[in-house]
Structure 1
């Protein structure tokens, strides 16, 4: 059995964003909560991510995780390598004198990796939430989508072939296997369920749907809008709250106008944790129409409020976040999705029973368990030794 690092040690997470970034999402929550759990177990943890106007370049958060922000949306990858290499010379924010030299790096790949094995002389763990196969052509021109998919499915698989992998669902582990990543080299560490603030909000007296997340094309909020348009004759009081922000919002507002449902849709924008708790507690059904999710953090958040979710069966980890027929419903296509939303809105007893089970299911996932599992992987106590060809050096330290 190999050991990644003598522990407790210093773990450097490389992620394109942090939770204070206006475009941050579930991936950022996962990284920071796991990092916090590692700190609680005696590790030191640093998160390197892109700079933005909502936070300083260097800070330590309330959980003891240091955040270093450099570069932008596209340049953060280069800045990570430059700061790491400068740190080896005793310079910059990752210099040893500033506590910045890591014992192990966690390269968080949100489509594009940081390519850490090329420039880091430390063990590298590759963290992947989901494979972006379907998303590349949705968000990029065809030529760029092909390059992105080649990097993710071919180049990165070869580059990280001697690294341990961590992912957040069995669905992603199975998909990685189709790209050539041995399942025994990839461990699953599920998300915890974020604790929502207590709220006095009660279930809405009228049918209320909610979708929560970044407003970008692959989240497919359009499906939620079309569900409202299709159900207005059945449920004249039906309303939808779209909670979240993103560059796709103008398109969604235009579609709502085209569907003549502007008065039924509340584009709420960014919501605080308190507002989120009240919204999920008052909604009848939560909608997750995403094309692909590594897990579906908002699904278990809704479940913790006793609210069932409708999602797509083939959308990756959502099929594990939703227990079909118990904590929500999984649809096979858009017509089926609309039918299942209609069913839950009309069947009061079914919806209440699913809400009870959704709450119990959400409670079974904790950040303490996720942090413990991640720590054990870093210690080398779990996960078999990655495949290594004869004559090749290992990125793992004996």
Structure 2
């Protein structure tokens, strides 16, 4: 197949995150299976306008808002020069590319999560109203009858609430890579970890509040924040205002080896985000036997965390604080959750994600009716006891 993939950013972008990793892993996996993939995304200073990486052709043009028109123009130009694409993937990160305006090829719309909560957090009220109107009203009408892909059942449910036909939404979860072997030394006390972009709607301040509240009850307790983003200065100011600089470490971007060392060193992963499509960091932590605590109403987090089995879902900051306190005080329960999380993480592989995408895209190129493939629950398998120490 000859495939165009339209994504707001690529993983080299300064604000690249889990959605960009998903797009890259799917693109590279499809190339490895013999397909041709052109990745259309915004321009940025970290990469050239055009390059080929791991077999994927990247074309970068346009700004944060200009990328949508630039991608459509690129599709028209590439099809005029080399013939039509077999299928186009339109990744709707709040706003769709409306790729169907540029091609007669089948269009598959990928949605990680619906942005109802993010629009007013990130933008002014007028801009948020327009953005939410396009996402919730215009896009479902323009893309009616097309194949959709969601990365979680919660995202699918939200798409259906916006008018998308339930039978047109397939679910293809994130994968996760096998954890790198790491050597972890003894720590001075328990560690909490937040992994992800430092942006406003991730609400990392909640994690700072948790560690601040519990320092006296758990000597040596620290919070490690791995990731960076446009909200870093505000987060630094918050840490300083709380007097938490001595026990909150803002590590910024780190390499893969360091990331895995931080994951393996943690006792708990905190996910205080407003919304996640799936919760890639949850499964990454689980692959090291580290359970997670997140908010019940944060979209896909309620699926990537199996409540009471691989972690804990809570309703608010007070409940998050209480859950952390209880697990740090109960090493046996913490180890049980970690063992369950490790077993659960093995179910989600990038090979399976790519295989599902290949089948779905072939289905689309044959111009068959949209499918709801992949809409099933993943039960947590029985855990096997792990020698992993709980509190370091």
TM-score (norm 1): 0.90
Rounded to whole Å, the distance in 2 between the matches of 1:204 and 1:378 is 47
Give unmatched runs, 5+ long, in structure 1: 1-8, 91-95, 388-398
Say if 2:220 is the partner of 1:237. Answer: yes
Rounded to whole Å, the distance in 2 between the matches of 1:242 and 1:125 is 35
Q: Which residue of 2 aligns with 1:27?
A: 19
Q: Which residue of 2 aligns with 1:46?
A: 38
Rounded to whole Å, the distance in 2 between the matches of 1:60 and 1:28 is 16
Say if 2:204 is the partner of 1:221. Answer: yes
More divergent stretch after superposition (234-243 vs 193-202): 193-202
Q: CA deviation at 1:366?
A: 0.8
Q: Deviations over 1:119-165 (max 9, x none)?
A: 22211000000001111110011111111110000000101002100
Rounded to whole Å, the distance in 2 between the matches of 1:104 and 1:47 is 13
Say if 2:345 is the partner of 1:354. Answer: no
Match of 1:116 among 99, 103, 116: 99
Rounded to whole Å, the distance in 2 between the matches of 1:286 and 1:173 is 25
Say if 2:303 is the partner of 1:320. Answer: yes
Rounded to whole Å, the distance in 1 between the matches of 2:145 and 2:59 is 27
Rounded to whole Å, the distance in 1 between the matches of 2:163 and 2:195 is 33
Tell me, yes or no, if the aligned pair for 2:271 and 2:293 is still in contact at 8 Å: yes
TM-score (norm 2): 0.91
Rounded to whole Å, the distance in 2 between the matches of 1:101 and 1:324 is 46
Say if 2:268 is the partner of 1:276. Answer: no
More divergent stretch after superposition (288-297 vs 71-80): 71-80
- The RMSD of aligned alpha carbons is 1.7
Q: Which residue of 2 aligns with 1:392?
A: none
Q: CA deviation at 1:15?
A: 0.3
Rounded to whole Å, the distance in 2 between the matches of 1:322 and 1:383 is 36
Tell me, yes or no, if the aligned pair for 2:73 and 2:102 is still in contact at 8 Å: no
Q: Which residue of 2 aligns with 1:67?
A: 58
Q: Which residue of 2 aligns with 1:4?
A: none
Matches within 5 A, 1:44-193: 44-62=36-54, 64-90=55-81, 96=82, 101-193=84-176
Q: What secondary structure is seen at the aligned counterpart in 2 of 1:263?
A: coil
Q: Deviations over 1:342-364 (max 9, x none)?
A: 11222111111111111111111
Greater RCO, 1 or 2 (C-alpha within 8 Å, sep 6+): 1
Tell me, yes or no, if the aligned pair for 1:196 and 1:274 is still in contact at 8 Å: no
Tell me, yes or no, if the aligned pair for 2:202 and 2:272 is still in contact at 8 Å: yes
Say if 2:21 is the partner of 1:14. Answer: no
Q: CA deviation at 1:14?
A: 0.2
Q: CA deviation at 1:101?
A: 4.8
Q: CA deviation at 1:202?
A: 4.3
Q: What secondary structure is seen at the aligned counterpart in 1 of 2:184?
A: coil
Tell me, yes or no, if the aligned pair for 1:185 and 1:383 is still in contact at 8 Å: no
Give unmatched runs, 5+ long, in structure 2: 372-392
The number of residue pairs the alignment matches comes to 370
List 4+ stretches of structure 1 deviating above 3 A: 202-205, 381-384
Matches within 5 A, 1:311-390: 311-380=294-363, 385-386=369-370
